[in-house]
Structure 1
């Protein structure tokens, strides 16, 4: 271990600590806390600095031992040509190459070659050579070997398992509410009596049928036809979607990015649960009633092929639901079936594997959602499904759960409060795809 090595380690450690200090000072100067990325970089730099410090201490100990041995040799009056001085000098200068050529394995491999010259075409190999550090007693894997200075690199990468791509919130109508119950009005019937009306030719007043009591309008009276509308007041109740996980205070303190990671993952869990409720909630207990389970949603049985069936569903949405459908929601398995559809000449309907642009069918975007059940597609005007946010997703941390306070643990809770309703059920059509 040389003084040059010590200087190199010191410079590396100083650079690491300087980087950490600059990150912290920048956040402090801007009057804010460090971001998750800054926290990760800060922690990495400080960890590297600590590891280098341990290496510096080890190098210093080695140099002190050599210096003391040198001083002792000089103090007892050993002449400069004494082998002890040579041993100390060899230990001080001994490099990886010197350890190899001095090893019994290397010398045994060189023995057949007189004069130390190995012919160009001769096979040359050695038995495994145990290369040790300055203090050989610890072995190659111990703290006194070179292995003590090989430390894992902290990359800062945290690879999660992956998540569903969420699409449904982007399709439906989103509103805010400050109440726990949302009311809306839905029309239940509509009689259109509009018709051309001639000018009045008489001033006679209406009469009453003596038998039925019905009003009888005089001929030529110019009376306008009366239409009929009926409405119903409906309610949607706010429900809570929540999840919590435990964590130790030490873990949150030691890993700067951990709390942010947990927060993001909890929020994503809530979003996944919300999409599941909007599409498939069964309405029982605290569940929302999703589109696929909403009373009054239309259905379309399988007819000839997938393309024909979807077109018939679009017709139902237009003629019965009285809407212009804006999307077809399918599971990725159904989307794959659409992509692989071919005509009688074995040509892909949708351009094949090299087609560019969004996938559409009959002019409507085909939206993939893993939450949509595989056997059916969902065609409709998704603006007729409304989600009211009472409380958007929030994350809170507390140690007041159970005995967490005395155990230095915290509960991290994410929750949202929402209400949901399909304001016009006939705007949606569940389509049988004949797939399993």
Structure 2
């Protein structure tokens, strides 16, 4: 009887020959001849037969594996021997004691093929250099030496009927929830391959333009009636701004068992960690104080326009728009407001009890004085921002990544891993006067 590998090679041979013949016909742009058609059909028939044999062998191997798994913990010398003691060469029941044939667990470990193959990779000469760090051997499984034997019988043991009372796993996971992230959708986002970004910002504009009469003399002396025709010279100044790439990171510990036993857990961890990075990034974009590794957020950026409280919320908001148009020379793209402040504005009513902003039945995007309103949980209550949000730029150095390692403290010997999430980015407000910080509270 052919082995599984031999059968797979035969299947590959039949299919390759049939494919090559089809490729030849396609290359010559013609139809199959009767002989070629018959040959391909024969090859496919042979391939089907071999495929069926492969399935039979695989099913047999699966059955043998089930026998081995069920035989764990019992002493079966050689299930592959028939009644007269002669093995049939197929059923290897002796595998029940395959690991027990070694003197010790350590002996089985160092003599295992997986360990020896790995050792050849990291230590070709048989010695691991002291300078080599961060090595990690492959996990090797041993089911002998009583490592998985359960001698205590309790209602929760897997030899007791209690183990068969299992709750249905619905697959439902309900997290605590996160604040919606809205700011990054408003601002400009670019990428960088450097650890710092630079941009040039104009600090003064040219304002010297003036009507100029045509010259009436070739040699201007300043005498009465002379017109020099000299054009006014303009002047402007610039500043070069450098923003360094900053790292935002967070990690949590987990057991290796948790990662391997519950595949869904890692997905949840990835999601939680990434969302935590997103919240911190949003907070930094607005409120970073520029100290240490913090971004210099919009609230702490110099030369941002300010709109003081004036009469009431509606009046203050309208004056902020004028402030931005006149002093910032920018058309606003959105308001950014704390949800509680927007609730206050949304509930404003006139003297007849009618909502200024349409009430609860108003559909679509909410606006204030024609400018879209975006709610953000990281804007402090009592303060709002109006601006052309394209004038804030985020440069992605590396998008959020997740990595796992046991190279932390004593995690290796405790079967624990550190799951690390981090992103690297830089941000800059390229036009501070493109934004207005608005005071939404009287007397503040």
Please give the range of the TM-score, normalised by the shorter of the 2 chains: 0.5 to 0.7
In structure 2, the residue matched to 1:386 is: 393
Choose from 271, 280, 283 the match for 2:290: 283
Choose from 167, 182, 192 the match for 1:152: 167
1:142 and 1:182, CA in 2 relative to 1: closer, same or farther beyond 3 A?
closer
CA positional deviation for 1:227: 1.2
In structure 2, the residue matched to 1:166 is: 181
* Structure 1 residue ranges without an equivalent (≥5): 1-56, 58-139, 208-215
1:400 and 1:147, CA in 2 relative to 1: closer, same or farther beyond 3 A?
closer
In structure 2, the residue matched to 1:201 is: 216
The Cα offsets for residues 341-379 of structure 1, whole Å up to 9 and x where unpaired, read as: 111111011111111011101111110001110010111
In structure 2, the residue matched to 1:411 is: 418
CA positional deviation for 1:199: 2.3
CA positional deviation for 1:304: 1.3
Whole-angstrom CA distance in 2 between matches of 1:171 and 1:185: 22
Whole-angstrom CA distance in 2 between matches of 1:218 and 1:178: 62
CA positional deviation for 1:197: 2.2
CA positional deviation for 1:183: 1.2
Whole-angstrom CA distance in 2 between matches of 1:284 and 1:145: 61
1:417 and 1:311, CA in 2 relative to 1: closer, same or farther beyond 3 A?
same
SS at match of 2:360: helix
Does the 8 Å CA contact 1:331/1:368 hold for their aligned counterparts? yes
Provide TM-score, normalisation by structure 1: 0.63
CA positional deviation for 1:149: 5.7
SS at match of 2:236: strand
SS at match of 1:354: coil
In structure 1, the residue matched to 2:302 is: 295
The within-5 A match list for 1:345-384 is 345-384=352-391
In the alignment of these two chains, the number of paired residues is 291
CA positional deviation for 1:402: 1.2
Provide TM-score, normalisation by structure 2: 0.62
Whole-angstrom CA distance in 2 between matches of 1:244 and 1:217: 81
Whole-angstrom CA distance in 2 between matches of 1:157 and 1:356: 32
Q: Is it true that 1:177 corresponds to 2:192 in the alignment?
A: yes
CA positional deviation for 1:290: 0.7
Choose from 269, 272, 275 the match for 2:279: 272
In structure 1, the residue matched to 2:311 is: 304
Does the 8 Å CA contact 1:204/1:218 hold for their aligned counterparts? no
In structure 2, the residue matched to 1:191 is: 206
In structure 1, the residue matched to 2:437 is: 430
Does the 8 Å CA contact 2:220/2:227 hold for their aligned counterparts? no
CA positional deviation for 1:300: 1.2
Does the 8 Å CA contact 1:277/1:290 hold for their aligned counterparts? yes
The Cα offsets for residues 149-182 of structure 1, whole Å up to 9 and x where unpaired, read as: 6531111111100110000011111111111121
The within-5 A match list for 1:236-247 is 236-247=243-254
Whole-angstrom CA distance in 1 between matches of 2:189 and 2:225: 52
1:206 and 1:401, CA in 2 relative to 1: closer, same or farther beyond 3 A?
farther
CA positional deviation for 1:147: 7.7
SS at match of 1:355: coil
1:218 and 1:393, CA in 2 relative to 1: closer, same or farther beyond 3 A?
farther
The within-5 A match list for 1:328-339 is 328-339=335-346
The Cα offsets for residues 60-117 of structure 1, whole Å up to 9 and x where unpaired, read as: xxxxxxxxxxxxxxxxxxxxxxxxxxxxxxxxxxxxxxxxxxxxxxxxxxxxxxxxxx
CA positional deviation for 1:194: 1.6
CA positional deviation for 1:191: 3.3
Does the 8 Å CA contact 2:332/2:387 hold for their aligned counterparts? yes
Larger radius of gyration: 1
CA positional deviation for 1:217: 12
In structure 1, the residue matched to 2:325 is: 318
Whole-angstrom CA distance in 1 between matches of 2:408 and 2:327: 53
Whole-angstrom CA distance in 1 between matches of 2:159 and 2:271: 43
Whole-angstrom CA distance in 2 between matches of 1:362 and 1:188: 30
1:148 and 1:405, CA in 2 relative to 1: closer, same or farther beyond 3 A?
closer
Whole-angstrom CA distance in 2 between matches of 1:422 and 1:143: 62
Whole-angstrom CA distance in 2 between matches of 1:217 and 1:180: 62
The Cα offsets for residues 113-158 of structure 1, whole Å up to 9 and x where unpaired, read as: xxxxxxxxxxxxxxxxxxxxxxxxxxx9999999876531111111
